[in-house]
Structure 1
Amino acid sequence: MSKVRIIRGQEWARPVRPVRREVVSAIPEPEQGRPPLLFVPGFGHGAWAFAEHWLSHAVSRGFPAHALSLRGQGGSEAAARTSLRSYVHDVVQAAAGLPRQAVLVGHGAGALVVAHALARYPARAAVLVSPVFGGWGTLGAALRRNPAGTLPAAFGGRLRLSRAQLFSRELPDAEARRYVSALGRASRRAQWQLLSGPELEPPVGDPPVLVLGSPDDRVVPPAALNRVARRYGSAPLLFPGMGHDLMLDARWREPVDALLDWLEKEPVAR
């Protein structure tokens, strides 16, 4: 059987400019030989969103854990004309720098970045958390739920997510305010590409993919969660009563434990 070679001319003609990337890491002692996890936050979030709870919890279960800030977010260096392709480059480069084949975990729009990275990096597995795969239907749902925060983004301004969209009522107000105040902004170009960006290519090596979400997410409707999960031949694992930011909400342990349980039972054994 002949081999199929994918040549991406744009990446040769217009390579992505390298930047200094923030990666927050936590390593178990002693190392247990488990695959490293690379957490990729959604637009406006940085590595801090996973460093708050999930990194240390993963380490307590024996997994090396790393959280990346995409360029221009968190502590990573910004770059002009940042695109969705730039974010994918950041993920692939960070994963390639890890000592073993990594599990990619993306949240929100970071899940879309991970989905694109899977076509360039042979991940051990992938987990898509509250995935925002874009499209005009997603914009319409966001406009209905948060018109004041979403409308500016449709014209190149900053997307402002509200407390009600991100968290359940169980999360104390002081914590919710602290998290919302830490949100930054994605590049305008990447925001536009979220709506009408490039088509997804098939993952390299057909890694297992898990989709996590909440039926009460006010950013990603249940129908969108089901669509993403069907793309990867599964159904989403749901956590009722939680908001969009599963890794920061009051019951953050439930989804990360489900994620780690899945890794222990399924992909790690392959």
Structure 2
Amino acid sequence: MTAFDLLRFEDWTNPVPPADREVVSLLPEEDDGRPPLLFVPGLGHGAWAFAEHWLPHAAGRGFPAHALTPRPGGDLRAQVHDVVQTAASLPRQAVLIGHGVGALVVARALGRYPARAAVLAAPVLGGWSALGSALRANPGGTLPALVGGRLSLSARQLFQSGPPALTAEQITGYLSRLDPKPRAELLRRATPPRPVGDAPVLVIGSPDDRVVARPALDRAAAAYSGAPLMFPGMGHDLMLEASWAEPIDAILDWLTKQIK
């Protein structure tokens, strides 16, 4: 990280405009001092993607759980800003958990916010590999995005077995509320900044993910000197699959070891 990065010159000359932030929160019945979790969804997703299962499950295990919906039309810098500001507003040092492109946002936020720990779930950290996977799984929905159009996400891209509670119509309705138009910045692969305070980082994913290929998961984990924790038989949207409890329990078990 350079002195220019530390000063964040662009934030002084061209500050991120204010915006209302949609945060969904679920708190445990008893507060035993565990760090709050801040979930950050990816492209086309909102707080609803975590509110269905992972938020109540985390709160049931004693973790204050919050999910932040990305601001509509916000670029990567704005979304990083929102994550940092939301995390800083929580009463204790937070754990950042990003999914898909939300993992890219978390990776950037770790360079500014001293998180207690972080989890990158099915991370899309930039580069053309995710676009190549999208073209193979859903060419009709991906090709328009290459010429500035809208990216259409398909159930085949997101799920292996299908979500147990939400119907395909509900998910399509949720996705249509946001503009999942990919930005050029998502196609640039860059080395993520080192986490402030050397927060431990866990990378999780699935070898059957049709958005993030296994080599991309390995590269993401290697950037933090680790190996990815894998959940075979699951799709990209780990938090909505029929076996959604497996990855969140693994995350919470890992966090419990980190905070002892």
Q: TM-score when scaled to structure 2?
A: 0.93
Aligned pairs for 1:15-164 within 5 A = 15-72=15-72, 82-164=74-156
Conserved? CA contact 2:129–2:213, under 8 Å? no
CA RMSD in angstroms, aligned pairs only: 1.8
Return the alpha-carbon distance in structure 1 between the equivalents of residues 46 and 171 of structure 2: 11
Moved more, 141-150 or 18-27: 141-150
For residue 182 of structure 1, report the CA deviation from its aligned partner: 1.2
- Tell me the residue number matched to 2:246: 254
Conserved? CA contact 1:168–1:250, under 8 Å? no
Moved more, 36-45 or 130-139: 130-139
The one-letter code matched in structure 2 to 1:268 is: I
Return the alpha-carbon distance in structure 2 between the equivalents of residues 166 and 187 of structure 1: 14
Moved more, 161-170 or 14-23: 161-170
- Matched position secondary structure for 2:86: helix
The Cα offsets for residues 164-185 of structure 1, whole Å up to 9 and x where unpaired, read as 1111125459623422331144
Conserved? CA contact 1:83–1:187, under 8 Å? no
For residue 110 of structure 1, report the CA deviation from its aligned partner: 0.2
CA change 1:19–1:198 in 2 (3 A) is farther
The one-letter code matched in structure 2 to 1:133 is: L
How many residues are matched? 256
Q: Following TM superposition, where does structure 1 have runs of at least 4 consecutive aligned residues deviating by more than 4 angstroms? A: none
The Cα offsets for residues 11-46 of structure 1, whole Å up to 9 and x where unpaired, read as 110000010000000111211100000000001000
Return the alpha-carbon distance in structure 1 between the equivalents of residues 41 and 166 of structure 2: 22
The Cα offsets for residues 46-84 of structure 1, whole Å up to 9 and x where unpaired, read as 000000000100011000000000101xxxxxx6xx311
For residue 199 of structure 1, report the CA deviation from its aligned partner: 5.0
Residue 268 (1) aligns with residue 259 (2): yes
Return the alpha-carbon distance in structure 2 between the equivalents of residues 59 and 138 of structure 1: 32
Conserved? CA contact 2:35–2:92, under 8 Å? yes
Moved more, 160-169 or 197-206: 197-206
Conserved? CA contact 1:166–1:243, under 8 Å? yes
- Tell me the residue number matched to 1:243: 235
Return the alpha-carbon distance in structure 1 between the equivalents of residues 143 and 179 of structure 2: 15
Aligned pairs for 1:214-233 within 5 A = 214-233=206-225
Return the alpha-carbon distance in structure 2 between the equivalents of residues 110 and 138 of structure 1: 14
Return the alpha-carbon distance in structure 1 between the equivalents of residues 32 and 160 of structure 2: 35
The one-letter code matched in structure 1 to 2:242 is: A
Return the alpha-carbon distance in structure 1 between the equivalents of residues 12 and 96 of structure 2: 25
CA change 1:54–1:128 in 2 (3 A) is same
Conserved? CA contact 1:167–1:176, under 8 Å? no
Conserved? CA contact 2:137–2:156, under 8 Å? no
Moved more, 254-263 or 141-150: 141-150
Residue 165 (1) aligns with residue 169 (2): no
The one-letter code matched in structure 1 to 2:131 is: L
**Structure 1: any 5+ residue segments left out of the alignment?**
73-78
- Matched position secondary structure for 2:120: strand
For residue 160 of structure 1, report the CA deviation from its aligned partner: 1.3
The one-letter code matched in structure 2 to 1:20 is: D
For residue 187 of structure 1, report the CA deviation from its aligned partner: 6.2
The one-letter code matched in structure 2 to 1:65 is: A
**Structure 2: any 5+ residue segments left out of the alignment?**
none
Return the alpha-carbon distance in structure 1 between the equivalents of residues 94 and 34 of structure 2: 9
Q: TM-score when scaled to structure 1?
A: 0.90
